[in-house]
Structure formats: C-alpha cells, structure tokens
Amino acid sequence: MHLSVEHLGLAARDPAKLKDWHVRVLGARVVFESGSTPPTFFLEMPGGLLLEIYQGDFSIEQTGQNNLTGWRHVAVRVDSIAAAQEQLTARGVVFSGPIKAAGGGGQVLFFKDEEGNLLHLVERPAGSVFGKSHATSGLAPELDEATAPAGAGKMPALHSKSSLRAIIFDLDGVIVDSEPLHEQAYREVFAELGYGESHGIDFTRYYGKSDQALWEDFVAKHEPKQPFAELFALKQGRFLDILRRERPIFRGLPELVERLAARYKLAVASGSSHPVIETALSLQNLRRFFPVVVSALDVPRGKPAPDIFLRVAELLGVASAACCVIEDADVGVEGALAAGMSVIAITNTLPVEKLAKATRVVSSYGEIERLLL
C-alpha cells in the first residue's frame, strides 16, 4: 500500500478571509472553491502541500498554543529565514518572538495567521537530515511546467530575478486608477444617447478589456443610430477630459517605474487606445520610461488572448519567458499566462480570489518592488 498526505484541514471562523490571508501573505494558490455557503477552499501552499479551509463551528483561545494536544502548527520551509521575515513583516505579519534554534538543526521563527493559528518559518542547514529544501528564497513555489496553470507554458519564478529582462505594465488599474473613470465616462455618454437607465452593461465584465469590446456588445444589444466610430470617439473624448482633470496616477507607481527602468526593459500593454495611453503616461512624465507601448487595437485579439503580450515581447526583442507582466484584471492575467509569461497581479481593482491564477498576488507597489529588485 502506498500512502501520501494529500492535504491538511483548517477550520475557520471566516474561511474566505483566512483564504485571502494565505494567498496574500504566503503566496498560496486557490485550486478549488466549493461555491457553497459557507464556502470551502483548497489552496496549494508553497512547496505543493494542499490546505483545505472550511467553516468551523467554534474556536477556543488555546488554538495558537504549541503545547496543546493535537496537530499544532504548520512549518514553512525557507532558504533564508531573515529574508522571509523581512518579506512577511512587510505584509503585516507580527512575529511572536525572536529567531530560535530548531530541533534537528537550523532556525525557527513563529507567527500566527489572522485567526490565531500557529505557523513558523524553518531554515535548515546544508546536509540536514530533513533532506533537500523545496523552499525558495521567497515564499512562493518555483513555477515550472509541472506547477504552472494550464496553458501557461514554462515561466520563470519571480525570485529568479536574473532570468527576467522585461516588465510589462497594464495601464488601467495598474498605472492609473481609471476603471471608475471609464465607467463614469460611459454612463455620461449613455445618458446623452438616451440609455441612461437601460444600457444593460455590467462594467465589471469589461475590466481589462478594450473599449471596442464593450461598444460591440452595446451595439449588438441596442442597435443605436450612431455609427460605431462616433460612439467610440464620444466615450474616448469624455474619458480624456476626466483623465486630464483627475490625474489619477496611483501613489507609489512613478517611483516604482523609475527604479525598475534602471534594471529592466519596460513596456505598456493596454486595452485602451493610443490617445488614452499617451495622455495617461504624460501625466507625470512616465512616457520616457516605456520605449514600447502596444494597444489592444494594434493586435487581432484583445485580452484574454495573448496577442498583445506576444507583440510587446517581439518589439522588445525579449523572449516571453523572460517577461513579467503587472496586471490588475483576471483577463490580463489569463492572457499573460497564455503568452508564457509570469504575472504579478495587484488587487487595485479585483479581489484576491479573482486573481488567484497569477504567479503572485500583491496588494501594494512596495511588494512588487521587493519581488523584482
């Protein structure tokens, strides 16, 4: 009989919130969601272990005590406990004490998740009886053909910075906080056209997609008298007015771009048109950092197809596997993975669970800087 541990179960007061913590802090991936109420999640943890998070009936204060009878903690193997401590501290983790000697050799450092469950980092010395470490210098497992999402191809792990040559930025929701402004522009134009209360558009379905995609659906639904080009121009003009007035560059983004430009080739791959891209990049003199800018209108298919990312890589002269994409939308994540690139998804627009297929999910530009520099 062959036995192997498939997963560990973790009962939670709030399964969704605890799931988000493991994704955000430890780089776990959501591989299954029940869709029930309350929900159950299966996460793939760094190193490959599966963790089931489900609704618990009650909790006791002693859960976080290591000497309470029963399974008491999860140990997370790392190559450098000091580096991992720095990363986790930046993500809001508070450690319960100093680094200590580990049984069997090495070092341990304890901390708790949002519900008080006990975890610890462990660093083992070379030649340890515990075998070769599957850890990385970061906290996410290395992505290769065995662990990458279907269709992603072979991708570099984000901690292998030497393998990356180019960083590709999405525009809306990554460089500029513009998704609400796009919706505002559309609503104003719809109202002027007489569809203020009857446009029937769910704007969240178009995050990361081009204006053309939304207008095509609108025209198919309502058959307005205005030609397509006029509709496109009406919305674009309205949005550009709002963009120039609001100047919604994300705080911390210009500094990140300047630092990345000193090490990598940079590009923009956006669902927006070139006039919108150029206007946005002119707001804080960002255009000088991006020698390559590609719009969804430049390629046959928009996101989630990989066309725009493959075109950027071609213009940069960089292999797809040496590119990392920064995205905020699920369709962008899907397209970048399909192009064989790694993806950092930032939760500016969508929640963690919508971005779980990304190589890494972060909530700040500081996290992106720590991953890439």
From first CA to last CA, the distance across the chain in angstroms is 47
241 is catalytic: no
Identified catalytic residue from 20, 113, 172, 328: 172
Length of the chain: 373
Of 121, 221, 238, nearest to 183 by C-alpha is 238
Q: Provide the 3-class DSSP secondary structure of residue 305.
A: coil
Q: What is the pLDDT of residue 149?
A: 35
172 is catalytic: yes
Of 16, 37, 117, nearest to 76 by C-alpha is 117
**Locate tokens 């927006």: which residue?**
272
Q: Are 103 and 120 in contact (CB under 8 A)?
A: no
The number of beta carbons lying within 10 Å of the beta carbon of residue 265 is 21
Q: Kindly report, residue by residue over 105-123, the tens digit of the pLDDT.
A: 889 898 988 888 888 898 8
Q: What is the pLDDT of residue 171?
A: 95
Q: What residue type is assigned to position 166 of the chain? A: A
Residues paired with residue 32 on neighbouring β-strands, in sequence order = 42
**Regarding beta strands 360-362 and 50-55, do their DSSP bridges make them parallel or antiparallel, or are they unpaired?**
unpaired
Question: The tokens of 297 are what?
Answer: 């209108």
Q: Are 189 and 203 in contact (CB under 8 A)?
A: no
Residues paired with residue 118 on neighbouring β-strands, in sequence order = 112
d(CA 95, CA 109): 7
Q: What is the pLDDT of residue 44?
A: 84
Domain locations in the chain as residue ranges: 7-123, 142-373
**Regarding beta strands 342-346 and 292-295, do their DSSP bridges make them parallel or antiparallel, or are they unpaired?**
unpaired
For CA atoms 141, 144, 149, 155, the dihedral sign is positive
Of 95, 123, 90, nearest to 107 by C-alpha is 123
Please report, for residues 27, 172, 252, 302, the alpha-carbon distance to residue 285 in angstroms, rounded to integers and kept in the order given: 33, 17, 14, 27
Identified catalytic residue from 20, 170, 328, 330: 170
Alpha helix segments (H runs only) across the chain:
15-26, 81-90, 179-193, 211-222, 228-246, 253-261, 274-282, 307-316, 330-338, 365-372
Query: Edge-to-edge strand order for the sheet containing 50-55?
Result: 7-12, 50-55, 41-44, 29-33
Domain boundaries 142-373, CATH class: alpha beta
Q: Provide the 3-class DSSP secondary structure of residue 260.
A: helix
Q: Under 8 Å CB-to-CB from 225, ≥6 apart: which residues?
A: none
Residues paired with residue 11 on neighbouring β-strands, in sequence order = 54
What's the number of CA atoms in the CB half-sphere (13 Å) around residue 266?
21
Q: What is the pLDDT of residue 75?
A: 86
d(CA 246, CA 26): 35
Q: Kindly report, residue by residue over 61-94, the tens digit of the pLDDT.
A: 656 565 655 666 788 888 888 888 988 888 889 9
Q: Under 8 Å CB-to-CB from 149, ≥6 apart: which residues?
A: 337, 357
Q: What is the pTM of this model?
A: 0.56
Q: What is the pLDDT of residue 64?
A: 59
Arch. (CATH architecture) of 7-123 = Roll (3.10)
Give the residues of the chain that fall short of pLDDT 70.
Answer: 1-5, 58-72, 127-160, 196, 208
